[in-house]
A and B are shown apart, each in its own frame.
Chain A
Amino acid sequence: MRYFTRKIVFFLATLWAAITLNFIIPRLQPGDPAEVMVQKLAGKDAQLNPAAVEAMRAMLGAPEGSLFEQYIAYLKALSQGDFGISYTYYPYPVTEVIGQALPWTLVLVGVTQILAFVIGVTLGAYAAWRRNTRFDSIVTLGSTFLGTLPSFWIALLLLFVFGYTTGWFPTGGGYSSTSPGLNVAFLGDAAYHSLLPALSLLISAPIGWILGMRNTMIMNLGEDYIRLAKAKGLPDRVVALRYAARNALLPSVTGFAIALGGVLGGSILVEKIYDYPGMGRLMDEAIGNRDFPLLQALLLFIIVGVLLANLIADLLYGVLDPRVRRAES
């Protein structure tokens, strides 16, 4: 049990450090959001009116007081779930803006990540089990080739072929003719819109899992316990799954949990290419507009996501590998 408590304590400490860093870093950056905002309203070449900037500051609620006071206020607001008001989507609060984008990304990137992991690990394990066969060569060479293609490039290619040339799929957006809600028509529409972005992500995402799983599995197949399992006369399926794959999966589990943590950040390039209303596009906007409250909240979301995923990976690893529990407890 000590293993698990230790991991949780460690998680809380890292979380605090992350929150604090998230507070400090934006304050070290140059540039005044109010000026950017006024400039944007006034047009690119217009002279800035100091009064307008001052008014904008007041409206946005620019921070007051010493850094320490700001920090306390920040922690207080955080604990109440108050991330402030978005500059870009004024006057909507940040939480609402993120709440709008989050489901889109969770579904698109989350589903593709899980699919990628399942497909990758299965292909990798099977390629290792049948190593040096044609299947193995095709999978290994194919993934090495596809792995060199960046996902935004694949996204552009798919968009060009299936969006513009053939017109089989919409070229952007999350939905079109329907209005958001939990009904069949909308869900179908959303799925239709997300197919191309999902495919763009799914083509290259399993490759890491395939190669990683194949390599660890081949290493595991050389272990004595595999030879013993074969000598025991166990069916191939049992040897491959319960003995080889079960052990080879362990390192991938950690990787997968961390990848899941990254889901919250979305996939900036692919979401931008398809104009997909998810977290990635939101982040892109927040950066472009110096929308500090939004950016800060997004970063915090991602950090918490990764940390949480790490914690889950650690806890899961403890369950999956009995050796870890003992070594530390």
Chain B
Amino acid sequence: MSANGPQPTPLLRVRDLSVRFEPRMSPALTAVDGVGFDLADGEFVGLIGESGSGKSTLATALLRLLDKPCRISGGSIEFDGEDITTTSQDNLRRRRWRDIGTVFQSSMNALNPVMRIEAQFRDAIEEHSDLRGDAVTDRVRELFEMIMIDPRFMAAYPHELSGGMKQRINLALALANRPRFVLLDEPTTGLDVVVQRSILEAVRRLQKEQGFAVLFISHDIGTVLELSDRIFVMYAGRLVEQQGAASLLENPLHPYSKGLLGSYSDPRADTVRVTYIPGRPPDLSRPIEGCRFAARCPEAIERCQSDDPVLLPLAGGSVACHVAHLQRGPVQDAPEDLPEPTRVFAGPAFVKTAEDSARALRGEVFLEVSDVSKVFKHRRGLKRHSIQAVDNVSFSLRRGKVTALVGQSGSGKTTLARMITGVDRPTSGSIRFIGSDGDIEVDRLPTRRLRDYRRHVQMVFQDPYSSLNPALPLRYTLTRPLRNHRGLSAKQAKAVAGELLETVALTPSRRFIDRYPHELSGGQRQRVVIARALAADPELIVADEPISSLDVSIRAEILELLEQLVTDRDIGVLYITHDLLSARLLADEIVVLNQGTVVEHGPVLDVIRNPADSYTRTLLDAIPNRYLKPAQT
């Protein structure tokens, strides 16, 4: 199961590594199951997989930082010829940060809030080198210059830095002792696309200059493909495919890899086709028969249901898939149900053609935002500061159409959404809602009339984990708006709640209606959030990044659902996002916001293909472009 690299002794050699997660209160599970690979000096390897695939657990195991109730239950990890699987923490300590540097996921919190930045570099450097005093300061200055941050910030505390700066500092910190191996665990998750871009460019540049080996973990296959030499794909605790980045892109072997690749596309293409993987990963605490992916796999054959495939070499890489081996391997006795080889994911897809996108904007205007500005004032001591969050913005929404509001964080998208939903009032300008039962001047709406307005306008939030009350079953979540806004009786409301669940494809509804949010997957929760928004029978849905917290493999599924609702119910949607691909898929019209002003406005395909504003171009450039080169059909 090793990578077939020519190196005699790899820098990192992992064999049959398993990690058990044994909590006291719930059933034990094997989070990482028999993973083996080699990593050569100076190699840049990407590790991709959905949340829950075990990639972060694998990373933590490699660093020997697992905490109870997680433990390495089998296999070995060798670093530079030394077996570190069971060696004591005291022995490991010498290697840590001298040989192995790390940038953790959500590194917003990775710096000690009460220590100055320099001190946090200093302890790591002094612990592992002979540098002392000014020599350390000089080294830190050098590291700061390397990541292009003004060395003045050495004296700062973490909270005085922006998210992007913190993450670049974390990168510099990882490189402080010139390590041979750097583990990057989702280093850009949660950061703005443009900021992500700058960090990944720094990673690539420094890796070229300094030649350290990298294991880059991410769920964002686009970025991983762009940076890595070789890719590992992980699913349900197993390594399911291992290939060179270019060949993975050309010729993915495992259907799961195809599914992940299929979730990206070039938003500028004539026809954009984005696939999604239905279903959800298996419950690892129960015994699994056959292939772990079989239940979600469009290519599965009979054998997949019973035989657990092993990771075996194939076509220059290796893959754990019966179908791939039967199709491309030397095996003779091909079963009858073997499908034709395919490069693309053969599962469901959300397709949008240029004609779809170019449909004339005929829907009747029902929300007009005219010259809206919002200034936030706040006092600091005796001085008053004001921030122009939204500056003279005008656009309109149409029934049965989706308008995408695109911009990076801080561009005023959310402020605008708050004004449209009546949470905030504009400083100047007007927002007029032309409803089916009369007009409403939203900007001047008295608080007591908000309730009536809310009936027409509903929200879908970004994080389905925090937007549902964890203590209440779906029945409550869904019947509440029905009774509040539509005045239904308890019995009627229950029936309608069932219908709503069916509408968002949670069928049969009786299986779901008494469940609690924690019993559902992220995608299912987001469906419930959408069902709740529909409950009031609204005319407008404001969806604030509804897919950005979901796994890439299911995003298109939610987008498709939203589009269907728009068409079936003639609802207008304001779709807030920073992602141009999803904007292309869902929206008819696009409004690009930068620093509170509209910098671009027009039909979605026009804007994406011929961006007039430099900011829109930056957003387009921030999409991993290596992936976009080969034409995707």
Contacts and interface: CB of A to CB of B under 8 A. Distances in A.
Contacts of B102: 228, 231
Contact of A233 (B95, B106, B110): B95
Contacts of A228: 102, 104, 107, 110-111, 170
Interface in B85-120: 89, 92-98, 100, 102, 104-115
Contact of A322 (B100, B124, B159): B159
B65 A230 contact: yes
Nearest to B170: A228
A252 interface: no
A86 to B, nearest CB: 46
Nearest to A223: B109
A246 B114 CA distance: 8
A300 B112 CA distance: 41
Contacts of A236: 89
Nearest to A5: B381
A225 B157 contact: no
Contact of B114 (A230, A232, A233, A247): A247
A2 B380 CA distance: 10
Nearest to B160: A326
A244 to B, nearest CB: 9
A326 B159 contact: yes
A323 B113 contact: yes
B123 interface: yes
Nearest to A243: B112
A246 B113 CA distance: 10
B60 to A, nearest CB: 8
A236 B128 CA distance: 15
Given A2-B381, A227-B104, A233 B109 contact: no
A135 B297 CA distance: 51
A236 B96 CA distance: 13
Nearest to B112: A225
A323 B157 contact: yes
Contacts of B491: none
Contacts of A223: 109
A16 B170 CA distance: 49
A320 B97 contact: no
A233 B94 contact: yes
A237 to B, nearest CB: 12
Most-contacted residue by chain B among A2, A321, A322 (CB, 10 A): A322
B124 A224 contact: no
Contact of A242 (B65, B92, B115): B115
B97 A233 contact: yes
B286 interface: no
Interface string B139-167: 00000000000000000010110000000
A224 B68 CA distance: 16
A234 B115 CA distance: 15
A224 B107 contact: yes
Most-contacted residue by chain B among A132, A228, A234, A246 (CB, 10 A): A228
B113 to A, nearest CB: 6
Chain A interface, DSSP helix/strand/loop, else mixed: helix
Contact of B127 (A132, A234, A246, A322): A234
Interface string B534-578: 000000000000000000000000000000000000000000000
A266 to B, nearest CB: 35
A235 interface: yes
Nearest to B381: A2
Contacts of A321: 113-114
Contacts of A234: 93, 123-124, 127
B63 interface: yes
Given A225-B113, A322-B113, A323-B159, A232 B124 contact: yes
A238 interface: yes
A199 interface: no
A259 interface: no
Contacts of A101: none
A320 B159 CA distance: 14
Nearest to A321: B114
Contacts of A229: 112
Interface in B376-435: 380-381
Nearest to A236: B89
Interface in A203-253: 223-225, 227-236, 238, 242-243, 246-247, 250
Given A247-B114, A320-B114, A326-B160, A232 B109 contact: no
B576 to A, nearest CB: 28
Most-contacted residue by chain A among B107, B110, B380 (CB, 10 A): B110
Contacts of A246: 112, 114-115
A43 B270 CA distance: 107
Contacts of B170: 228
A94 to B, nearest CB: 41
Given A228-B104, A247-B112, A322 B157 contact: yes
Nearest to A230: B65
Contacts of B112: 225, 229, 242-243, 246-247
Contact of B92 (A227, A233, A247): A233
Nearest to A250: B114
A38 B18 CA distance: 87
A232 B112 CA distance: 13
B131 to A, nearest CB: 15
B127 A233 contact: yes
B110 A232 contact: no
A185 B611 CA distance: 91
B516 to A, nearest CB: 24
B413 to A, nearest CB: 25
B189 to A, nearest CB: 13
B65 A232 contact: no
A274 B231 CA distance: 76
A279 B28 CA distance: 59
Contacts of B159: 322-323, 326
Given A224-B107, A232-B97, A322-B157, A238 B123 contact: yes
Nearest to A131: B68
A191 to B, nearest CB: 38
Given A224-B109, A225-B111, A232 B157 contact: no
Given A132-B68, A228-B110, A322-B157, A235 B93 contact: yes
Nearest to A247: B114
A235 B95 CA distance: 12
Nearest to A233: B96
B113 A231 contact: no
Contacts of A233: 92-98, 124, 127-128
Most-contacted residue by chain B among A132, A223, A224, A243 (CB, 10 A): A224
A246 B115 CA distance: 10
Contacts of A250: 114
Contacts of B111: 225, 228
A232 to B, nearest CB: 4
Instruction: Identify the 9 closest CB pairs spanning chains A and B, nearest first.
Output: A233-B96, A224-B109, A322-B157, A233-B93, A224-B110, A232-B124, A232-B97, A225-B112, A228-B110
Given A224-B109, A238-B123, A321-B113, 12 more contacts: A229-B112, A233-B93, A233-B94, A233-B95, A233-B98, A233-B127, A234-B127, A242-B115, A246-B114, A322-B113, A323-B113, A329-B381
Interface of A: 2, 132, 223-225, 227-236, 238, 242-243, 246-247, 250, 320-323, 326, 329
Interface of B: 63, 65, 68, 89, 92-98, 100, 102, 104-115, 123-124, 127-128, 157, 159-160, 170, 380-381
26 contacts: A2-B381, A223-B109, A224-B104, A224-B106, A224-B107, A224-B108, A225-B109, A225-B112, A227-B110, A228-B110, A228-B111, A230-B65, A230-B96, A231-B102, A231-B104, A233-B94, A233-B97, A233-B124, A233-B128, A234-B93, A234-B124, A242-B123, A247-B113, A322-B114, A323-B113, A326-B159
